[in-house]
Chains A and B, each alone.
Chain A
Amino acid sequence: MEGIIRSKMLKISNITKRYFRTVALNKISFEVSESSITGIIGPNGAGKSTLLDIISGFQNPDEGEIYFNDRPLMLFKEKRKILSYMPEHLEIYPDYYVDEFIQFINAATRHIDTDLIEILNLAKVKNKKIRYLSKGYHQRLKLFFALSNTKEIMVLDEPFDGFDPIQLIEILEFIRSENRKGRTFILSIHQLYDAEKICNHYVLLNEGKIVTQGDIQTLKQTFGEDNSSLEQIFMRAIQ
């Protein structure tokens, strides 16, 4: 929320995705500003993960385009230079030790971020096999992978799943601090309470369509009152 909003850097234009006769995403369009934290909000099955997959290049849309600084961004090899993606369904090599995985990522990216390891508190579990990590620590390791680079846009699918309240506070603070450094975040969140704590722009998705979008003030003006929660706004919007 404290990020400085600058110019629009990513434009998602008319994205449509079908699986046989099912329309998973229907003409999705929105813009992401530089140094913003955009929350893709919606219930399970709304199409959030599909949308993030398409934005990151892991799936191809049937229609629509994505622009980065007004240039079309369709090839995966171009996207991976700009975007870092943490998919929701990702089971990091279960037979690796945490340290072994960290070393592999560091060696491959030629980038060692010791602060990140410290902030995510991964040193504590470095001698553990990944398969024996708790869900919260596995999530931290996924975040480590997504953030251990210098890419401009972080696309994180359900990044807060599995965190206990203390861990969640730490992670939220960490994302805010990264955002303050100028990084742009696109987060998919189904827990609206968590989304409200971190995002400064919202895209409300339901059944593959955008219900509404904007910052919290705009949403309150359209669908609620000054003291309305995001949950109440969302419920009204989908009604």
Chain B
Amino acid sequence: MRPFLILSLKEIKDTFFSKTALLFLMLVSFIVGYGFVTAVGLYSEQSLAAVNNLLYARGFEPVPGVFGPTYGGLFVLFSLFLPFVIIPLVSLEKEHNTLSILTQLPFSFKDILTAKIIASFLFLLFVLTLTSPCIILWRIYGGHIPFNELVLLISGYLLYGMFVVSVSFFSASLFDSTANASIFSIFLIISSWVIDFGRNMNMSPFLSSISGWTVTRVLKYFENGILSFTAVMYFVLICSVFFVLAYILLRFDLKGKWKSISSTVILFLFAMFVISQITLNVDMTESHRNSFPSGISKALKKVPNLEIDVYMEKGDSRFEDYQRSFLKKLALVRNDVKIKIMTGNELKKNYGLFVYKVNGKSGKTYSNSEQEIFPIIFGLAGISAGHGNEETKFPGYPLVVKEKLSIIQYTYYLLIPLLMILAFVVKNFKFRRRLKK
């Protein structure tokens, strides 16, 4: 066997068969099972009223209704518990000084870190595989599976998991003790939540300006069914930078580490700036719930210098509705629209008004409905939207699950945890037998 393969196998074994990993996997099983049972129950209950109502049925989509909440549990588990599985892969090597063993064998620092990253990636894939019974059971119940949207959702969580892995590696390389590394890692991960919270609470303009770049906000693209080039590249870059920093910090033979660290960070910021300038989004949902009809989107791209003045408080429910139904869809088409949230006397005087400006001309409305907005914008730009405003033909997928949900409970609360304990025991037992021979 090639030395790198031997090292990778060692790392895979260290990752999968640690007691921490076993506990984590059992927790995943319980949380995913609970999330799926709850989501299916609620979806089924609400579907009762929709099965004979075509209009109401359009609101039923399996990803936001069932798979989103199911995978949502993984978000919490990855954020708060995954670091405890990943950090020991590096920090124990440092604490026990076993890096001195690996680096004297025919493995470079790059080999060692790569093998650990591969093992962590496979572990994440395994965690996500544990959710496959949900998909199978949903299909057995007669549920619809929107393949593209589901794959996007799973990919999002895989990327988020890799983000947690990269942060864990970085923290473990930075600190000598596992405890310090774990606390720092969780601090870095949940700081994204804090920024989002600060933004929602209007705590500071600075938090609002950086909140668009938090991991949780970028993950929303995947959760909402939007395949975004920027979001994918964001995860790739942020994972890469933490892995590179971990590599630099682990290299005990490297002189001038600060120079390498600052170059990496500068390069990362530059790359982030470049990707932020690219808008390439595809709505992967079957209902196209995130986007305007194609004709409207094409016409919007032709509108020059669009500016919007909003005379409304951010916390106003009408503004939230406007954001959800218009601004977010607009952001998918173009990211150069200047949106100004008015304040002070101007706000009080014109409260509730939306002003659209195109090349110096402006139009006003108090409505936040697309039917009112588009004629104003296209009128100002002198563009015809053609027949783009067609109705969507999405039928919706309500589902009343008549079978008992106990099969899910048995699978996730009993079968999967037992199988994992069995695998853990058998692995050790097999190994002992091999040794005795």
Please give the distance in Å from A126's CB to the nearest CB on chain B. 7
Instruction: List the A residue with the shortest CB-CB distance to B99.
Output: A58
The interface residues of chain A lying within 8 Å CB-to-CB of B436 are: 127
Taking a contact as CB atoms under 8 Å apart, the answer to whether B1 and A126 are in contact is no
Please give the distance in Å from A147's CB to the nearest CB on chain B. 12
Taking a contact as CB atoms under 8 Å apart, the answer to whether A127 and B96 are in contact is no
Taking a contact as CB atoms under 8 Å apart, the answer to whether A90 and B431 are in contact is no
Taking a contact as CB atoms under 8 Å apart, the answer to whether A104 and B10 are in contact is yes
Q: CB < 8 Å: which of B1, B95, B104 contacts A84?
A: B104
State in angstroms the CA–CA spacing of A126 and B432 once bound together. Answer: 11
Q: CB < 8 Å: which of A60, A80, A107 contacts B103?
A: A80
Q: Output the residue of A58, A94, A105 with the most chain B CB within 10 A.
A: A58
The interface residues of chain B lying within 8 Å CB-to-CB of A57 are: 253
Instruction: List the A residue with the shortest CB-CB distance to B17.
Output: A95
Taking a contact as CB atoms under 8 Å apart, the answer to whether B107 and A108 are in contact is yes
Question: At the interface, yes or no: B97 with Cβ under 8 Å from chain A?
Answer: yes
The interface residues of chain B lying within 8 Å CB-to-CB of A104 are: 6, 10
State in angstroms the CA–CA spacing of A97 and B435 once bound together. Answer: 9
Please give the distance in Å from A55's CB to the nearest CB on chain B. 13
Answer whether A91 and B96 are a contact pair too, CB < 8 Å, given A58-B252, A108-B105, A126-B435.
yes
Question: At the interface, yes or no: B172 with Cβ under 8 Å from chain A?
Answer: no
The interface residues of chain B lying within 8 Å CB-to-CB of A105 are: 101, 105
State in angstroms the CA–CA spacing of A76 and B99 once bound together. Answer: 13
Q: B residues 1-36 with Cβ under 8 Å of A?
A: 1, 3, 6-7, 10, 18
Question: At the interface, yes or no: B98 with Cβ under 8 Å from chain A?
Answer: yes
Question: At the interface, yes or no: B255 with Cβ under 8 Å from chain A?
Answer: yes
Q: CB < 8 Å: which of A59, A90, A94, A127 contacts B435?
A: A127
The interface residues of chain B lying within 8 Å CB-to-CB of A235 are: none
Q: B residues 85-115 with Cβ under 8 Å of A?
A: 95-98, 100-101, 103-108
State in angstroms the CA–CA spacing of A85 and B102 once bound together. Answer: 12
Taking a contact as CB atoms under 8 Å apart, the answer to whether A92 and B101 are in contact is yes
Q: CB < 8 Å: which of A76, A77, A97, A108 contacts B6?
A: A108
Q: CB < 8 Å: which of A60, A95, A97, A108 contacts B7?
A: A108
Taking a contact as CB atoms under 8 Å apart, the answer to whether A145 and B101 are in contact is yes
Taking a contact as CB atoms under 8 Å apart, the answer to whether A75 and B6 are in contact is no
Q: A residues 63-108 with Cβ under 8 Å of B?
A: 75-77, 80, 84-85, 87, 89-95, 97, 99-100, 104-105, 107-108
The interface residues of chain A lying within 8 Å CB-to-CB of B18 are: 95
Question: At the interface, yes or no: A109 with Cβ under 8 Å from chain B?
Answer: yes
State in angstroms the CA–CA spacing of A80 and B99 once bound together. Answer: 13
State in angstroms the CA–CA spacing of A233 and B103 once bound together. Answer: 38
Instruction: List the B residue with the shortest CB-CB distance to A104.
Output: B10
Q: Output the residue of A60, A94, A107 with the most chain B CB within 10 A.
A: A107
The interface residues of chain B lying within 8 Å CB-to-CB of A90 are: 96-98, 100-101
Chain A residues within 8 Å of chain B by Cβ, number: 31
The interface residues of chain B lying within 8 Å CB-to-CB of A95 are: 18
State in angstroms the CA–CA spacing of A110 and B253 once bound together. Answer: 25
The interface residues of chain A lying within 8 Å CB-to-CB of B431 are: 97, 100
The interface residues of chain B lying within 8 Å CB-to-CB of A93 are: 96, 98
Instruction: List the B residue with the shortest CB-CB distance to A76.
Output: B253
The interface residues of chain B lying within 8 Å CB-to-CB of A107 are: 1, 3, 6
State in angstroms the CA–CA spacing of A90 and B93 once bound together. Answer: 10
Answer whether A77 and B108 are a contact pair too, CB < 8 Å, given A58-B252, A97-B431, A104-B6.
yes
Please give the distance in Å from A19's CB to the nearest CB on chain B. 15
State in angstroms the CA–CA spacing of A66 and B384 once bound together. Answer: 78
Answer whether A60 and B98 are a contact pair too, CB < 8 Å, given A107-B6, A127-B432, A127-B436.
no
Encode contact with B along A16-28: 1 for CB under 8 Å, 0 otherwise. 0000000000000
State in angstroms the CA–CA spacing of A149 and B101 once bound together. Answer: 12
The interface residues of chain A lying within 8 Å CB-to-CB of B104 are: 80, 84-85, 149
Answer whether A75 and B253 are a contact pair too, CB < 8 Å, given A104-B10, A108-B6, A126-B435.
yes
Taking a contact as CB atoms under 8 Å apart, the answer to whether B100 and A87 are in contact is yes
Encode contact with A along B406-437: 1 for CB under 8 Å, 0 otherwise. 00000000000000000000000001100110
The interface residues of chain A lying within 8 Å CB-to-CB of B106 are: 108-109
State in angstroms the CA–CA spacing of A185 and B120 once bound together. Answer: 39
State in angstroms the CA–CA spacing of A75 and B252 once bound together. Answer: 11
Please give the distance in Å from A111's CB to the nearest CB on chain B. 11
Please give the distance in Å from B171's CB to the nearest CB on chain A. 21
Q: CB < 8 Å: which of B7, B10, B97, B432 contacts A87?
A: B97
Taking a contact as CB atoms under 8 Å apart, the answer to whether B252 and A59 are in contact is yes
The interface residues of chain A lying within 8 Å CB-to-CB of B108 are: 77
State in angstroms the CA–CA spacing of A100 and B427 once bound together. Answer: 13
State in angstroms the CA–CA spacing of A199 and B435 once bound together. Answer: 38
Q: Output the residue of B18, B97, B432 with the most chain A CB within 10 A.
A: B97
Please give the distance in Å from A164's CB to the nearest CB on chain B. 24
State in angstroms the CA–CA spacing of A233 and B36 once bound together. Answer: 77
Please give the distance in Å from B19's CB to the nearest CB on chain A. 9
List 20 A-B pairs, Cβ < 8 Å.
A59-B252, A76-B103, A80-B104, A85-B100, A85-B104, A87-B100, A90-B97, A90-B98, A90-B100, A92-B96, A92-B101, A93-B98, A94-B96, A97-B435, A104-B6, A104-B10, A105-B105, A107-B3, A108-B3, A109-B106
Ranked 8 nearest A-B pairs via Cβ: A76-B253, A91-B96, A108-B105, A90-B97, A107-B6, A99-B435, A89-B97, A87-B100
Q: Which B residues contact A (CB, under 8 angstroms)?
A: 1, 3, 6-7, 10, 18, 95-98, 100-101, 103-108, 252-253, 255, 431-432, 435-436
Q: Which A residues contact B (CB, under 8 angstroms)?
A: 57-60, 75-77, 80, 84-85, 87, 89-95, 97, 99-100, 104-105, 107-110, 126-127, 145, 149
